[in-house]
């Protein structure tokens, strides 16, 4: 992805009838565009800023899907202006292996990002890596082809992850969310998931990278990220508070009181209720990755391939040397 940053004192944006952005460019490009030494590149911009204030570093990203450039301008606004109804809502995340992110907001929005297809791609590349590793001649530890496959696998995952973070944070921002709760990694990585799900989340989803990226983008949008313990939230019934008697089976959570719901969405909702009072929920939004963007889907992700994926993960992590999945955390 094409992305560049412009220091806060190096650019100017003017909003009005003909909004425009001026950025410095290199001398070669200046010559090409016929600009003199003291001139900067001037481009028209569309859109209205939600916030005005002291400008911070500008981020310019090329969006391949719409073939356009997008500029993100974080601004610092006085605290007195932050308590507008626009930005007083809160949200909580549940990070998982099959559903990468489940999120609930105090406005009643629920989001679910399905990671199954993405994991399937990751798994197939991993299989190819293992295949070529078997064909290596003695002594050799890797080959150009294997290195390239590792890179492809990582880049693809990172691309999906970065896009997910931006999609999520933009939705939260539009919803007026100013505080986002995520599970503290201690709780997340020890109690919340079983060992092999942890393995999968570490190797495939690179949890730390995800959280770091999330914190960066939230900062851009003025959203505060808070780490809180989310112990039990994945087993807790949101209706009656029962913990011990609930039954979690794949993606569903059922309670003796009669409640039944999507386990990950419920977990993010219970996690949020622990921090703040929450009203009732609207229909969840299901998001699927299509290699470019996260698209909304009408129905919840299917459960069909789950078992195969899980079985595979078990096998490969149990194979000792972690032949292919064991690539060092690539961040
Ligand atoms: Zn219940």
Ligand 1: distance of its center to the CA of 270 in Å?
12
Q: Specify the DSSP element, H or E, that contains 31.
A: helix 27-33
Ligand 1: distance of its center to the CA of 259 in Å?
5
Ligand 1: distance of its center to the CA of 238 in Å?
7
Ligand 1: distance of its center to the CA of 258 in Å?
6
pLDDT (tens digit, 9 = 90+) per residue, 11-67?
Answer: 888 888 788 888 888 888 888 888 888 888 888 888 777 777 788 888 888 887 778
Ligand 1: distance of its center to the CA of 200 in Å?
30
Ligand 1: distance of its center to the CA of 224 in Å?
31
**Closest among 54, 60, 64 to 72, alpha carbons compared:** 60
Contacts of 296 (CB under 8 A, 6+ apart): 285, 286, 287
Ligand 1: distance of its center to the CA of 114 in Å?
26
Ligand 1: distance of its center to the CA of 243 in Å?
8
Ligand 1: distance of its center to the CA of 262 in Å?
13
pLDDT category at 170 given cuts 50, 70, 90 is very high
Ligand 1: distance of its center to the CA of 246 in Å?
7
- Enter the pTM of the model: 0.63
Ligand 1: distance of its center to the CA of 280 in Å?
16
Q: Where are the domains of the chain?
A: 2-76, 86-325
Ligand 1: distance of its center to the CA of 247 in Å?
10
284: left (phi over 0), alpha (psi -120 to 50) or beta: beta
The CA distance from 84 to 91, in Å, is 17
Locus of tokens 């419920």: 266
Cα-Cα-Cα-Cα dihedral of 209, 183, 290, 163, to 10°?
-50
Average pLDDT of the residues of the chain? 80
Ligand 1: distance of its center to the CA of 235 in Å?
10
Ligand 1: distance of its center to the CA of 185 in Å?
27
Tell me the backbone φ, ψ of residue 148, rounded to 5 degrees. Answer: -65, -40
> In the chain, helix, strand, coil percent, each to 5?
35, 25, 40
Q: How buried is 71 (Cβ within 10 angstroms: 0-12 exposed, 13-18 middle, 19+ buried)?
A: middle
What is the per-residue pLDDT for 188?
52
Ligand 1: distance of its center to the CA of 253 in Å?
10
The CA distance from 36 to 30, in Å, is 7
> In Å, how far from its chain's centre is CA 185?
16
What is the per-residue pLDDT for 23?
87
pLDDT (tens digit, 9 = 90+) per residue, 102-142?
Answer: 999 999 999 999 988 898 899 899 999 999 999 888 778 88
The CA distance from 213 to 229, in Å, is 20
What b/e sequence results for 225-247 when a residue is b if at least 16 CB atoms lie within 10 Å of its CB, and e otherwise?
Answer: beeeebbbbbbbbbeeeeeeebe
Contacts of 254 (CB under 8 A, 6+ apart): 246, 247, 260
């Amino acid at each position: 992805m094409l992305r560049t940053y412009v220091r806060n004192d190096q650019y100017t944006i003017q909003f009005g009838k003909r909004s425009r952005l001026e950025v410095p460019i290199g001398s070669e490009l200046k010559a090409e565009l016929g600009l003199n030494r003291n001139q900067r590149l001037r481009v028209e911009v569309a859109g209205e800023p939600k916030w005005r204030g002291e400008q911070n570093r500008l981020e310019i990203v090329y969006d391949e899907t719409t073939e356009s450039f997008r500029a993100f301008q974080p601004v610092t606004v006085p605290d007195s202006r932050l308590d507008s109804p626009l930005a007083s809502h809160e949200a909580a995340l549940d990070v998982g292996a099959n559903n990468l992110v489940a999120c609930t907001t105090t406005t009643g929005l629920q989001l679910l990002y399905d990671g199954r297809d993405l994991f399937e791609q990751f798994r197939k590349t991993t299989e190819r890596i293992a295949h070529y590793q078997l064909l290596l001649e003695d002594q050799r530890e890797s080959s150009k082809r294997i290195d390239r496959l590792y890179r492809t696998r990582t880049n693809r995952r990172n691309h999906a992850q970065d896009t997910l973070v931006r999609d999520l944070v933009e939705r939260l921002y539009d919803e007026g969310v100013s505080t986002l709760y995520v599970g503290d990694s201690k709780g997340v990585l020890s109690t919340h998931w079983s060992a092999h799900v942890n393995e999968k989340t570490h190797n495939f989803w690179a949890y730390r990278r995800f959280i770091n990226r999330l914190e960066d983008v939230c900062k851009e949008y003025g959203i505060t990220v808070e780490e809180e313990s989310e112990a039990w939230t994945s087993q807790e019934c949101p209706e009656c508070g029962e913990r011990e008697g609930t039954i979690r089976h794949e993606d569903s959570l059922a309670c003796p009181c009669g409640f039944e719901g999507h386990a990950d969405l419920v977990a993010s909702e219970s996690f949020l209720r622990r921090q703040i009072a929450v009203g009732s929920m609207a229909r969840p939004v299901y998001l699927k990755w299509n290699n470019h963007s996260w698209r909304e889907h009408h129905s919840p992700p299917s459960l069909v391939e789950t078992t195969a994926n899980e079985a595979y993960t078990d096998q490969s992590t149990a194979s000792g040397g972690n032949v292919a999945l064991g690539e060092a955390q690539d961040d």
